[in-house]
A and B are shown apart, each in its own frame.
Chain A
Amino acid sequence: MTPIAGISAAGAVFRGAFAQNRTRTAVGVLAIALGVALGYAVQVINQAAINELAQGVQILSGDADLEVRGPRGGFDEALYPDLARMPEVAVASPVVEVDAKLARRGDALRILGLDVFRAGFIQPSLIATAADRLDTLRSDVLFLSPAAMRWLEVKPGDVLPFQVALADVPLRVAGELVGGGEQRFGVMDIAGAQAAFDRLGRITRLDLRLRSGVDVAAFRDRLRQWLPPGIAAERPETGLAAGVSLSRSYRVNLNVLALVALFTGGLLVFSTQALAVVRRRAQFALLRVLGVTRGRLTALIVAEGALVGIAGSLIGLALGFALAQLTLRWVGADLGSGYFSGVVPVLQLDPGALGIFFVLGVAAAVLGSIVPAFETARTPPALALKAGDEERAFARLRSPLPGLVAVTMSAAATALPPVAGLPLFGYGAIALLLVGTLLLMPRIAALALSLLPTPGRPAPQLAIAQLRGAPGQVTVSLAAIVASVSLMVSMAIMVASFRGSLDTWLERILPADLYVRAADGGDTAYLTSDVQAQIAALPGVRRAEFLREQQLLLDPSRPRVVLQARTIDPANPSRNLPLLGTSLAVAAGAPPPVWVNEAAVDLYGFTPGKVVELPLAGKATRFTVGGVWRDYGRQQGAIAIARERYVALTGDRAVTSGALWLAEGSDRGVVQASLRREIPDGERLEIATPGEIRDLSLKVFDRTFAVTYALELAAVVIGLVGLSSSFGALVLARRREFGVLRHLGMTRWQVGTMLATEGFAVSSIGLVVGLALGFVISLILIHVVNRQSFHWGMELALPWRTLAGFALVVLAASTITAIASGRQAMGDDAVRAVKEDW
């Protein structure tokens, strides 16, 4: 019996696909795997960090029904008895929460001051069981979570010094908390915390447990009317959402970048499939002749892509999890951004994320196969059987209408506002522009090729003729490279613009000779009025300006805005602030001015001239927005107020930092030494020159963008591999042509020159289109995505050198690829290939 088992249409298709395109199939699988791995790794790390934050909030807030929150610095504790007495309230637990600066360390520890008799009802896991039960009430005693114990390397009985103002406040570690998970924090008696951290008469939070049967939402709404300005009652999860929202744009941006790598992988599958399918056109036509229906043929070709997607997704998920583990170990949970510093998450296999990225990987590959599949199934077999008909397969790509529609929609999308704080239409605009340009590529390629001069020598002449004769195939090769070049270019322009603007901004905001801070972290260190006076009076200091930073709650669903009380010349505020445009002259009788950053305009509608109410010292005070200043430090919104006005309204004379102008001839080193020597506890002061601050800021900037660069690089590598893969496929499909040319007397060198010319011309077109497209995308990134994500503007800057270097690398890589592919295809096989019919 003849063994014919296993002979089927599917077998014929798949065997043809994978046997004839083993390398290219493997490249497709790897491209999808890389895209899925990057996307999944970013997602799993972000999710783990957020889960950890959520767990922290859960532990610290216990099972409170409502949280009453206000400024970061706290609010009057007199509110506590009033609220506790309300009939709806079963338990009210006051909390003082501070990020206490650890003396002689660069870090701060979150400390919760609790009333143990109240907190026991709401946060029982935070009540320590001490050997000496009075320790829970002692004012100089602290209990640490297990994670904090490990982190600080302390044991019960040790003393931990904290910095308050510039002085040491020692607290004894009395024991370890039972709960706390992986969160680093400490708990102490509320009165002790108020005394130790200079919060007398103030609390930062009130946790409320309501009596059963009380409608929480209705009570919350009543409380809102009753509470003083700047204080809000919300469910604990609202606070978490507000905290998480600060990092959301960054996280979403990284996710989108990772998906770009997957998109490029999908394009690579498209070009591989499109060219492979064209190469096997006659084979498919034969299957149609033998009775395979159009639908079945389409399904089989799409299934080919799906198999690539399934393999790529499975490899990608495993790779992504491993990558996430390595990233957590080497980079940290914040992926370089600083949003989640101190969070130590544990990675978990979330079936939802696994499923989503598996489906995305398969979808990218399937979408890459659909167009070639439909085209193949639609072609009449008689036409497809005819040799030399390959270019006809791409004819359908030539209609400019879909491309023009996509580009027009992209332009419209740039004008739309953010959705839930995210620039979804901005991302949509970029995707539409990219897809639209790719759809227009046959036209663009044909136009570009028609503009190229016809070379005089036979080899380049043939190369240009070949490209002009096959713009469809050129387009397919170009898809992945145009996408990745444009995305790389746009990111390079955006990052260069951002970095340049940041540098200019730093120059403007650092006009003094020296800067001094009470500490580089936490909210317990400050400079008293005495210290300020001593600093201002130091020999060599010509002028000193001080700044107080506070955080105000304007909207409980958002992070607190930063209030900067600083020296501002009302006649010329741009001397002190990097104003965008001019400051409005406030009319006589109008409320006094404040100046806001761009984020405050976007988030709160604080436009110049508008009268706004700010909660200061428990009272709503009216101000006129005098102008907008550029600020790359506070995406949650910031407001600058003249310090003397702030002091008059609040009585708060403490400051967090100061800028010093030195007298002519004074030496910075000498003044720094005097600061440390002459000021009590002056060795605690953080002193820096503008240059040092600038360097540090730019270093932080570069670290933040390191992951971005890595993701972009991955997209470009996939793009280059895509170009190489599709070029290889094209060259292989042209073996007979090379055989004929060798018969006609073309040397191997000439055939190589022809291919190099083709590679150079194709990649040049890809580069020019990619550069132009990248420039337009960078404008969307700068003016739409960044603005809507982070609420800051920037000046456009083109990194010519980086772009030129990048262009050279792409040109060289693609030309070498073309030559290498040619070498492979120019062996003796090429001579023999002239005998092949198909």
Chain B
Amino acid sequence: MLSIRDLCKTYAGPPQRTVLVGVDLELVSGDYVAVMGESGVGKSTLLNLIAGLDRADAGSITLDGVELTTRDDDMLTALRRVAMGFVFQAFHILPYLSVAQNVALPLSLVGVVREVAERRVAEVLAAVGLADRAASMPRELSGGELQRVAIARAVVHGPRLVLADEPTGNLDPDSAGQVLRLLRDQVKAGNAAGILVTHSRAAAETADRILMLTRDGLREPTHG
């Protein structure tokens, strides 16, 4: 489903900085992988390139057979809208929308009719344990609850790929555990693929497999 071949990215600087060299990755539906690595090694850059929010210098990224690196911004945006979901470290729930409205946003962007959207939002909110908070405003929620809203927003439109960048970085261990379980469950439930970028070994271990991003590319960690 997602195929990355020999991906390279260098920032012009100054100083010029090469962050990704020869990155390869293959994911199929239902795969849920964790990407770890040192700070500044390019984990977020990798997510941005996959999401079509940044341009690679070389290499290819295909999603369900569609080559992303040659598409223009509008096509990438359209693809992102339909096929991807995002979870951020800082939640990024829009403060002026209610919980339900935040979750409904991706459906609204793809033009799902209101009744269908309402049903789907209710379903997803129930799945993340926030059925009773649909009308609440974000400022009334805790960090863990906000991140559950973010997960609901990431999966509500049935994306093929869910990208999560340090989703538990701002949470206490209990909330982090709940969020990670929920994220994995939702990715699996939607038969999507998921990439979890994290510094936390414990968080990474909730994924099916762990990959290390280094200056030499994306590798399986060496055990022992």
Contacts and interface: CB of A to CB of B under 8 A. Distances in A.
Contacts of A468: 96
B81 A391 contact: no
Interface in A720-746: 736-737, 739-740, 742-746
Nearest to B138: A388
Given A461-B108, A745-B78, A828 B54 contact: yes
Contact of B139 (A389, A466, A745, A749): A389
Interface stretch (B20-28, B87-95, B184-192, B201-209): B87-95
A695 B68 CA distance: 71
A834 B106 contact: no
Contacts of B32: none
Contact of B109 (A739, A745, A828, A836): A745
Majority SS of interface residues in chain B?
A: helix
Contacts of B54: 828, 831
A710 to B, nearest CB: 41
Contacts of B78: 745, 747
B96 A835 contact: no
A749 B93 CA distance: 21
A216 interface: no
Majority SS of interface residues in chain A?
A: helix
A279 interface: no
Contacts of A831: 48, 53-54
B164 to A, nearest CB: 12
B101 A465 contact: yes
A420 interface: no
Given A391-B95, A465-B101, A742-B77, A836 B106 contact: no
Contacts of A387: 90
Contacts of B77: 742, 745-748
A119 B97 CA distance: 86
B105 A458 contact: yes
A614 interface: no
Interface string B65-86: 0000000011001101110101
A469 interface: yes
Contacts of A391: 95
B213 interface: no
A391 B138 CA distance: 12
A837 interface: yes
Interface string A811-838: 0000000000000000010010011110
Given A740-B88, A745-B82, A837-B90, A466 B109 contact: no
Interface string A614-648: 00000000000000000000000000000000000
B34 interface: no
Interface residues of A, number: 32
Contacts of A389: 139
B44 interface: yes
A470 interface: yes
Given A391-B95, A469-B97, A745 B81 contact: yes
Nearest to B86: A743
Contacts of A745: 77-78, 80-82, 84, 106, 109-110
A836 B88 CA distance: 10
Contacts of A749: 74
Nearest to A746: B109
B92 A835 contact: no
A461 B102 CA distance: 12
Contacts of B179: none
B155 interface: no
B66 to A, nearest CB: 15
Given A745-B81, A834-B88, A835-B44, A465 B96 contact: yes
B61 interface: no
B95 A388 contact: yes
B51 interface: yes
A461 B96 CA distance: 12
Q: By CB atoms of chain B within 10 A, which of A739, A748, A834 has the most?
A: A834
Nearest to A466: B96
Contacts of A461: 108
Contacts of B96: 465-466, 468-470
Nearest to B75: A747
B11 to A, nearest CB: 11
Contacts of A462: 94, 97, 105
Contacts of B97: 462, 465, 469
A743 B53 contact: yes
Given A469-B97, A747-B74, A742 B88 contact: no
Q: By CB atoms of chain A within 10 A, which of B51, B78, B108 has the most?
A: B108
Contacts of B95: 388, 390-391, 469
Contact of A834 (B90, B94, B108): B90
Nearest to B169: A837
A750 B109 CA distance: 10
Nearest to B139: A388
A831 B81 CA distance: 15
Nearest to B80: A745
B105 A744 contact: yes
Contacts of A388: 93, 95, 138-139
B155 to A, nearest CB: 12
A749 B74 CA distance: 9
Contacts of B93: 388
B89 A748 contact: no
B51 A743 contact: yes
Q: By CB atoms of chain A within 10 A, which of B53, B92, B170 has the most?
A: B92
Contacts of B86: 740, 743-744
Interface in B20-45: 44
A744 B106 CA distance: 6
Interface string A461-480: 11001101110000000000
A468 B165 CA distance: 30
Contacts of B106: 744-745
Contacts of A470: 96
Contacts of B73: 747-748
Given A465-B101, A469-B96, A458 B108 contact: yes
Nearest to B111: A458
Interface of B: 44, 48, 51, 53-54, 73-74, 77-78, 80-82, 84, 86, 88-90, 92-97, 101, 105-106, 108-110, 138-139, 153, 165, 170
Given A743-B88, A744-B81, A747-B74, 11 more contacts: A458-B105, A462-B94, A465-B94, A740-B88, A742-B53, A745-B109, A747-B73, A831-B53, A831-B54, A834-B92, A837-B89
9 A-B pairs with least C-beta separation? A745-B81, A469-B96, A388-B95, A740-B92, A458-B108, A745-B80, A743-B86, A747-B77, A831-B53
11 contacts: A387-B90, A388-B138, A391-B95, A466-B96, A742-B53, A744-B109, A745-B82, A745-B110, A831-B54, A834-B88, A837-B90
